[in-house]
Structure 1
Amino acid sequence: MTVLDLTDPPAGFHDDPYPAYRHLLEDCPVCWQPDGSVVLSRHADLDTVYRDTRRFISDKRDVFGPKFGPDSPLYEHHTTSLVFNDPPLHTRVRKVMVGAMNPRALQQMEPGLIRLVDSLLDAMAEHAEVELIADFAGAIPIEVIGNLLDIPRDERGPLRDWSLAILGALEPMLSDAEMARGNRAVTEFKDYLRHIIEDRAANPGDPETDVLTRLMQAEGEGLTEVELYQNCIFILNAGHETTTNLIGSALWLLDRHRDKRAELLASPGLIGTAVDEFLRMESPNQIGNRLTTQDVEFHGQTIPAGTDLNLMIGAANRDPRVFDDPNTLRLERRPNKHHAFAGGPHTCVGLTLARMEGRIAVERFLARFPDYEITDGAVRGGRLRFRGFARLPAILKG
Structure 2
Amino acid sequence: MSLLRDAITPPMSAARAQAIAQSFDLRALPADFLANPYPVYAALREAQPVRCMPDGSVFLTRSSDLVAVYRDAQSFSSDKHVEFAPKYGEGSPLFEHHTTSLVFNDPPLHTRVRGLIMGALTRRAIAAMEPGLTMLVDGLLDEMDARGGGDLIEDFASAIPVEIIGNLLNVPHADRGPLRAWSLAILGALEPTLTAQQQADGNQAVSEMTAYLRTLVAERRRRPGDPEHDVLTRLIQGEAGGEQLREVELLQNCIFLLNAGHETTTNLIGNGLILLQEFPEARAGLLHALRETAGDAAAQEAVLGRAVDEFLRFESSNQLGNRRAVKDTQVGGVDLPAGTLVTLCIGAANRDPAQFAEPDVLNLAREGNKHLAFGFGIHQCAGLSLARLEGRIAIGRFLQRFPHFRLSDAPTRGGRARFRGFLRAPFLLV
Same topology, TM > 0.5: yes
Task: Specify the alignment match of 1:55 in structure 2.
Answer: 75
Question: 1:2 Cα deviation (Å)?
Answer: 4.3
User: Aligned match of 2:354 in 321, 330, 338?
Assistant: 321
User: Aligned match of 2:228 in 176, 196, 208?
Assistant: 208
1:308-332 per-residue CA deviation (whole Å, 9 max, x = no partner) reads: 1010000000000000000001111
Task: Specify the alignment match of 1:135 in structure 2.
Answer: 155
2:52 & 2:422 partners in 1: Cα distance?
29
Question: 1:129 Cα deviation (Å)?
Answer: 3.3
User: Aligned match of 1:106 in 98, 113, 126?
Assistant: 126
Task: Specify the alignment match of 1:66 in structure 2.
Answer: 86
Task: Specify the alignment match of 1:244 in structure 2.
Answer: 266
Instruction: Check whether the contact 1:3–1:24 (CA below 8 A) recurs between aligned residues.
Output: no
More moved, 9-18 vs 88-97: 9-18
Counterpart check, 1:372 vs 2:405: yes
2:177 & 2:85 partners in 1: Cα distance?
31
Counterpart check, 1:272 vs 2:294: no
What percent identity do the matched residue pairs reach? 58
- Match runs of 1:1-398 below 5 Å: 2-218=22-238, 221-268=243-290, 269=300, 270-397=303-430
Instruction: Check whether the contact 2:65–2:332 (CA below 8 A) recurs between aligned residues.
Output: no
Amino acid at match of 1:301: V
CA-based RMSD: 1.1
- Secondary structure at the aligned position of 2:322 is classed as strand
Instruction: Check whether the contact 2:324–2:339 (CA below 8 A) recurs between aligned residues.
Output: yes
TM-score of the two chains, using structure 1 as the length reference: 0.98
1:86 & 1:375 partners in 2: Cα distance?
46
1:296 & 1:2 partners in 2: Cα distance?
25
Q: Which runs of 5+ in 1 are unaligned?
A: none
2:200 & 2:54 partners in 1: Cα distance?
25
- Secondary structure at the aligned position of 1:100 is classed as coil
TM-score of the two chains, using structure 2 as the length reference: 0.91
Instruction: Check whether the contact 1:46–1:316 (CA below 8 A) recurs between aligned residues.
Output: yes
Question: 1:3 Cα deviation (Å)?
Answer: 4.2
Question: 1:50 Cα deviation (Å)?
Answer: 0.4
- Secondary structure at the aligned position of 2:147 is classed as coil
Evaluate the alpha carbon distance shift between residue 11 and residue 186 of structure 1 in structure 2; reply closer, same or farther with a 3 A threshold: closer
Q: Which runs of 4+ in 1 moved over 3 A?
A: none
1:146 & 1:343 partners in 2: Cα distance?
26
